[in-house]
Amino acid sequence: MGKRRPEDTWCVYMIACRGGRIYTGTAKDPAARFRMHREGKGAAFTRANPPIALLRSVPFGSRSEACRAEAALKKLSRDAKIAWAGGE
């Protein structure tokens, strides 16, 4: 296998939304995906709970790794999600 290219990198990202809600997703470019959410072109959740800030994004080596990490994050308590967003 060759060297991994940046375009192969997938990230898990977390967004703070209006009303104190948190959204977690995966994307190759979290900043661009955040802009899409802000423009109302993202998930139904972020259309109903408008995004305020991109809290954190973490790169993974593959889409499947990022999806597994996203699923694990979604199972955490709110406090644990906030801790993750803070880099803990």
Return left, alpha or beta for 87; rule: phi > 0 is left, psi -120 to 50 is alpha, else beta.
left
What per-residue confidence (pLDDT) applies to 1?
44
Query: Does residue 36 lie within any of the structural domains?
Result: yes
Confidence of residue 2 (pLDDT cuts 50, 70, 90): very low
Which one has a higher pLDDT value, 58 or 3?
Answer: 58
Query: Does residue 12 lie within any of the structural domains?
Result: yes
User: Cα torsion at 48, 27, 31, 40 (round to 10°)?
Assistant: -20
Query: Does residue 1 lie within any of the structural domains?
Result: no
> Which residue segment(s) compose the domain that 64 sits in?
6-85
What per-residue confidence (pLDDT) applies to 8?
74
Q: Which CATH number goes with the domain that contains 54?
A: 3.40.1440.10
Is the whole model's pTM more than 0.85, yes or no?
yes
The 10s digit of each residue's pLDDT in 21-70 is: 999 999 999 999 999 999 999 899 999 999 999 999 999 999 999 999 99
Query: Does residue 53 lie within any of the structural domains?
Result: yes
Query: Does residue 28 lie within any of the structural domains?
Result: yes
Closest to 56 measured CA to CA, from 46, 75, 70, 45: 70
Confidence of residue 87 (pLDDT cuts 50, 70, 90): confident
Total domains in the chain come to 1
Query: Does residue 54 lie within any of the structural domains?
Result: yes
And the tokens for 45?
Answer: 């959740």
